[in-house]
């Protein structure tokens, strides 16, 4: 009997010792929610929570609660629902992001006003456990102010709501023809550091831009090299534009090879996720093929007729932009007759506009006449232009560029300039080194083309 009791005791000790690491591991694997301020300005900040599931089973829903000190309030937010009671705020999942697989993370964010930060955080009723991550102190221009209340009191999205195509015009929710003006990022694989919370504050507030084009290259070190990373980058930029009340153009920046059908399966995957994630937003515009080239309109139309339904089954209302032949020149850089060919066989969908690109130092009266004639037949959106030659470099031709912009103003044709970076070429608005320094405000770090385009963006349409 004593031997049996001793054996049982030893078994119990072995079991306890064996179980101890498991208990420690389980404790270490508790889901966490970690907070960081990713941008600050004089009277506020942009905050982000990252929820990480370190456990072995999926989380099917989540709720993050915290307090803010007196004098600190919340503004816009994204990727979550929000309920507040006094200074206690509770964020919860949306329909699409409640599940977090083991080893996975997700983020949600918000704008705060005041100097305080969240405290007393709890995730699904338990201490958040992730602590507060080190808060970066970015160098932000003194001219940067919070993006929540722009000049005039309304952001472009608040003023116009869900856009749609009415006839040959881009119209707001009230049916009024409008013109958007804004900037395109450079390739995210090279210049993501130029499109930051601080620089987009300047673009939205100081430049008073209506729209940000998010330029995601497919090849050239872009999407095909790491689909997850680049899709997440686009998600993030959509949220940053949304928080600042700007429209966001999701640019599938295919260039070489020129046939968009080469990337058909990749495009299906990408646009399905983007449209599914952001379908509740009213500020997302889809540009499904940047500059088709070397193929006829029939090939571009075939691609569009397959990609647009992927978007439409998830986002029924968003405007879709379709590239045109010969580097989106409406055929002017090659075969000619683009507008006639497109008008004779348009894309099989509604709420669609056709894309035109130009570079003023290369594209003379023939191109100007081409887009003028096309505007009589097609709804157009200029998603890329420069005041230099078609390489985005060289001397500026502001006179020719202004002739284009005068035409676009008279026809309410929206436009986006290339590009919001500090690339060495003359078409990048910032001088080299600006993005690393984080000094975006004012005109002291702008190239000649940057000063010129900033002035024209700052004379907005009469929303």
Q: Which of 251, 415, 372, 402 is nearest to 323 (CA)?
A: 251
Measured CA to CA, the distance from residue 158 to residue 247 in angstroms comes to: 10
For 215-244, give the DSSP string. EEESSTTSGGG-HHHHHHHHHHHHHHHHHT
> Annotated catalytic, 384?
yes
Question: 397 forms bridges with which residues in the sheet?
Answer: none
From the number of C-beta atoms within 10 Å of its C-beta (0-12, 13-18, 19+), residue 6 rates as exposed
Q: CB of 217 within 8 A of CB of 223?
A: yes
Question: 282 forms bridges with which residues in the sheet?
Answer: none
233 Cβ partners below 8 Å, 6+ apart? 188, 192, 216
Which of these is catalytic: 65, 239, 287, 384? Answer: 384
> Residue 134: left if φ>0, alpha if ψ -120 to 50, beta else—which one?
beta
What's 430's DSSP letter?
B
What's 462's DSSP letter?
-
Measured CA to CA, the distance from residue 390 to residue 343 in angstroms comes to: 26
Sign of the alpha-carbon torsion through 251, 256, 259, 262: negative
Measured CA to CA, the distance from residue 342 to residue 377 in angstroms comes to: 9
Question: Tokens for 413?
Answer: 């044709």
Q: CB of 352 within 8 A of CB of 388?
A: no
Q: CB of 442 within 8 A of CB of 143?
A: yes
Question: 59 forms bridges with which residues in the sheet?
Answer: 100
Which of these is catalytic: 46, 224, 291, 448? Answer: 291
> Annotated catalytic, 291?
yes
Catalytic residues: 291, 384
């Amino acid at each position: 009997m004593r031997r049996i009791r001793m054996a049982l005791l030893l078994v119990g000790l072995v079991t306890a010792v064996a179980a101890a690491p498991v208990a420690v591991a389980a404790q270490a694997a508790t889901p966490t929610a970690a907070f960081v301020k990713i941008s600050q300005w004089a009277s506020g900040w942009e905050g982000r929570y990252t929820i990480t599931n370190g456990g072995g089973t999926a989380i099917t829903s989540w709720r993050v609660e915290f307090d803010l000190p007196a004098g600190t309030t919340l503004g816009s937010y994204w990727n979550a629902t929000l309920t507040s009671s006094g200074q206690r705020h509770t964020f919860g999942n949306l329909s699409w992001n409640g599940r977090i697989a083991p080893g996975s993370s997700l983020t949600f964010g918000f704008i705060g006003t005041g100097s305080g930060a969240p405290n007393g955080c709890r995730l699904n009723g338990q201490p958040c456990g992730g602590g507060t991550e080190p808060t970066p102190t970015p160098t932000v221009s003194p001219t940067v102010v919070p993006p929540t209340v722009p000049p005039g009191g309304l952001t472009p999205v608040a003023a116009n709501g869900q856009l749609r195509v009415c006839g040959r015009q881009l119209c707001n929710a009230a049916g009024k023809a409008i013109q958007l003006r804004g900037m395109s990022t450079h390739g995210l694989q090279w210049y993501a550091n130029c499109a930051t919370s601080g620089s987009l504050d300047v673009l939205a507030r100081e430049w008073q831009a209506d729209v940000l084009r998010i330029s995601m290259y497919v090849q050239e070190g872009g999407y095909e090299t790491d689909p997850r990373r680049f899709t997440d980058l686009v998600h993030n930029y959509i949220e940053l534009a949304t928080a600042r009340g700007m429209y966001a153009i999701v640019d599938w920046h295919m260039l070489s090879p020129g046939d968009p059908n080469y990337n058909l399966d990749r495009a299906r995957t990408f646009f399905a996720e983007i449209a599914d994630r952001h379908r509740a937003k009213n500020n997302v515009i889809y540009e499904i093929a940047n500059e088709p080239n070397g193929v006829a309109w029939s090939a571009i139309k075939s691609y569009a007729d397959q990609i647009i339904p992927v978007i439409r089954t998830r986002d029924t209302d968003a405007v879709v932009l379709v590239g045109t032949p010969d580097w989106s020149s409406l055929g002017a850089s090659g075969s000619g007759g683009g507008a006639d060919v497109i008008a004779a066989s348009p894309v099989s969908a509604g709420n669609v506009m056709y894309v035109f690109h130009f570079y003023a130092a290369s594209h003379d009266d023939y191109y100007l006449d081409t887009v003028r004639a096309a505007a009589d037949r097609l709804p157009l959106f200029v998603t890329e232009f420069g005041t230099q030659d078609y390489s985005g470099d060289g001397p500026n031709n502001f006179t020719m560029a202004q002739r284009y912009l005068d035409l676009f103003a008279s026809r309410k044709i929206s436009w986006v300039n290339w590009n919001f970076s500090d690339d060495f070429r003359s078409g990048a608005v910032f001088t080299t080194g600006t993005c690393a320094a984080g000094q975006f405000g004012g005109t002291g770090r702008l190239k000649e083309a940057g000063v010129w385009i900033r002035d024209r963006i700052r004379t907005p349409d009469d929303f």
